[in-house]
Structure 1
């Protein structure tokens, strides 16, 4: 019952996405199974920290990365904080827990040349799917929006006259993002192709399958991976890397960090600062090439 209440709390009060809520529920369910199997407990509401520590040992022994273990423990921590909030427990068992050490993950963005090749050199089909795929890549690079934000775009969110798009971000926060001029004709062309579909079952959603229903997240991932694999040797070709690329390219061209923060829909500047690593690397190259003392 507590777990059901927690899931409702995440969905209704915290406004977490379905994907996030599902991940939290899965992590907690796995811990419940562990306690049932090893300690004959059907409820985890009141467990000592040693049970959680033993679960961590099992997870690490099974080859799970420290980052993945930390994510599972974060789910548990959120659950116990919720139990505190509703007065079910006084002190949660993870109050003194320290996260496992993880190496800092630096994601390498696509170069400008790679993006240009993906948008111009790659042969897109002239049918509906080819037009749609090119716009998906172009819109992700032009706006830096998240994959789920792109999937949830509505036709009414577009303002081609004002060259803006309304985006529904995390926790149902709306923001207006400018549309780069290069992508506007592609939007118009896609809308014509969309209108010509034999059947449109989902009239509100912007991006559709050729069957007339809304696209889904894994399809967007496959589209980015398919086209960028043709022009990039990177192991990871994903929508998130394209978002990372958007932010890095803006910063490299002198954009203000606060402005990039607003465009990305980040709630804090700390989230945006992870994108400055590659910008600083670019600045170092410019400094090395331009400073007169470096030329001696």
Structure 2
């Protein structure tokens, strides 16, 4: 995960160290994410709107890890590919995978806004159909936002560097900062404020008290979404600070911390989601107990 890289820095990122670490965390995240998807898709009781959005975020995180893995392979192994056009496409997919993860969490917050704030007036917004359209629109935005990466020549091949926009292209860099981070994060903050206002107001009404079970469940899901996003946000904090102060050491830390945060975020999802946690635990316990009867039978 990166926004721009400075071509004139005293400290140079050693990708021979940071890339393998990032790749290892990426593979770990893919494995954990695959288990989550298998559990959700194989359990009909988990076919809910909330889990639909969880699957969407899982796919976005897998996309990010796979794309970054491929980019590191090109950087460390496929060194003969020096084409600027190829580099621009790698940059596009790299930025697109970053955008997909951030915006997937924005979609989750928007969904909680539908359930908590708009549920009384527009119940159709909480339906599967409405959320499918929201997800479809989200991916159209995700595919569109990074298009300047391939429509301009601001990304070009540089030996020993990933295919990102160099910081000397200030207009493109500012666009990345605003479109990739400021807009989605600010939107998340705004929706959070509106949701918290609704939560505060609902505690004073008798109508809300009559739906305590549903209300508490919606608030619990909203809390879990924000905790999971906070883990990812903290992992990307070194990169965000690097954008502001252009300290290459922070970028080096961010290369590893983001994929580490993606892995931790998946573990947090398992821990916070009671249903997934129980099924996840039963899945491994069942595999262990299957061995015991076989051993006893053999002894007999």
**TM-score, normalization by structure 1:** 0.26
Higher helix share: 2
Relative contact order: is structure 1 or structure 2 higher (C-alpha 8 Å, sep ≥ 6)? 2
